[in-house]
Amino acid sequence: MRQILAAAAGLAVLATSACTAPTPPRSAASPSATPTGPATLPAPTGGRPIGTTVLYLKDTSRPDPWNLDVNARELKVTLWYPAGQRDGERAPYMTPKESELLVKGLRVTGIPYDTLSKTRTNAVKDAEPAGEKLPLVVLSPGFTKPVSTLTSLAEDLAGRGYVVAGIDHTYESYATTLADGRVAECLACDSDTDAGFGTAVVAGRAADVSFVLDRLPSKWPIDRSRIAMVGQSIGGAAAMAAMVKDPRVRAGIDMDGTTYARIPKGGFSRPFMFLGSPQHIPGGRDNSWDRDWKLLTGWKRWLVLTGAEHQSFTDGPLLSGVLGVKTPANVLPAARSAELTRTYVAAFLDQHLKGRRQAVLDKPSSSYPEVTFCPAGCAQS
């Protein structure tokens, strides 16, 4: 539950480490520096032009797990992909209303409510896809966060030749705009201290993932034999849960999320990588990775980033300036945390979905001294 509470503390709480103390959910966070703006996301590194579009899907086979008045699960799915054009209108980071609800949910003060909607992205809105069949990466965000908070990573993966499907898990975020313009707020936030909450969330998200894989339109150039999932916080835990449930997900990454899904006692052989902050060192405050590591029988890595915090794997640090938040000296700078996240996530996907061995995954690299290979390297440190 600690990871959920840390995630709920928000993008703005970068000055307080999620590795050192649990933070109450939806705690207030006031700017400690003069806000700058608007934020600009770093350019993708793959070199390909990228597009993005939004799909709205409805699963009529099950009721919504959070809204008892809704008999179907509605999902918003954002796709990022290599595009056939570089020029065109850049996609919005989020709507002004989504920005307002997120800023209010985080209890950030001293900035306009629409601040985050002005963030500059790199993807062309509704651009035509390039055409060739490409591997698919499913993205799942942290609790209370829209999937737009993983845009920098999504854009980078699209530029490297992946189709990325980011799922907004309705009623688990401060704001999700649905097909008819309604904005669904965070109903699950009222249940986040209930016993078994994490287990229920990851089970629901695994069902969301399977439904999205069933329903992605055939017009999208996806190689359905090459699918992986990446998530942050409870989204990372959901990556493990989705893989246990759905064999179509061939490989997965958990970025700083406590795991909840139970791995079969006989072991789990599909490739999996833990990528996290120092609280995930063996013997640290979260022992779920240590427990699950023993049951991972295939290719696996457990990487810990010195100086990382819970939000270091998201756009949070990149947005700290517009939120008026100073990054402490002992915390990874925003540009470096984005570079490390992009590098190691892409290396994992290139190796396991494209069959291109990546030396950076074999051993520590002098180019990335912040990255420690656990459990052996952690025990020696």
CATH number of domain containing 83: 3.40.50.1820
Share of the chain above pLDDT 70, in %: 90
Residue 124: helix, strand or coil by DSSP?
A: strand
* Phi, psi of 177, rounded to the nearest 5 degrees: -85, 125
Which residues constitute the domain of residue 92?
Answer: 2-380
Q: Determine the straight-line distance between the first and last CA of the chain, rounded to whole angstroms.
A: 27
Tell me the C-alpha distance between 19 and 23, whole Å: 10
Name the average pLDDT for the chain.
Answer: 89
pLDDT of 21 reads 28
Total number of domains constituting the chain: 1
Average of per-residue pLDDT across 63-89: 95
pTM of the model: 0.91
Amino acid identity for residue 60 in this structure: T
Q: What was the pLDDT predicted at 7?
A: 35
- Do strands 50-59 and 73-82 pair parallel, antiparallel, or not at all (unpaired)? antiparallel
| Distance, CA of 200 to CA of 206 (rounded, Å) | 10
Amino acid 33: pLDDT: 62
> Taking 90 as the threshold, does the pLDDT of residue 6 lie above it?
no
| Cα angle value 249/199/146 (rounded, 5°) | 70
Overall size of the chain counted in residues? 381
Residue 375, Cα to own-chain centre: how many angstroms?
A: 24
Is pLDDT above 60 for 111? Answer: yes
Helices (H), 253-313: 288-293
Cα separation values, 130 from 163, 223, 246, 248, 271, Å = 10, 14, 28, 24, 28
pLDDT at 10: 39
pLDDT at 5 over 50: no
Element (H, E) at 164: strand 163-168
Q: Are 55 and 129 in contact (CB under 8 A)?
A: no
Report pLDDT for 283: 82
Whether residue 11 has pLDDT greater than 90: no
pLDDT value at residue 36: 66
pLDDT of residue 40: 95
Specify whether the CB–CB gap between 121 and 91 falls below 8 A. yes
Distances (CA, A) of 27 to 22, 30, 164, 174, 234: 11, 10, 31, 13, 18
Average pLDDT on 72-84 reads: 96
In the prediction, which pLDDT does 193 show? 83
Q: How far apart are CA 324 and CA 9, in angstroms?
A: 16
Q: Are strands 251-255 and 183-184 parallel, antiparallel or unpaired?
A: unpaired
Report the pLDDT value the prediction gives residue 47, as an integer from 0 to 100.
86
Instruction: Locate 299 and state its tokens.
Output: 């290719």
Q: Residue 1: what pLDDT?
A: 39
Q: What is the mean pLDDT of residues 119-142?
A: 95
Residue 308 has pLDDT above 70, yes or no: yes
Q: How far is CA 66 from CA 63, 177, 191, 269, in A?
A: 9, 16, 9, 33
Per the CB < 8 A criterion, the answer to whether 63 and 73 are in contact is: yes
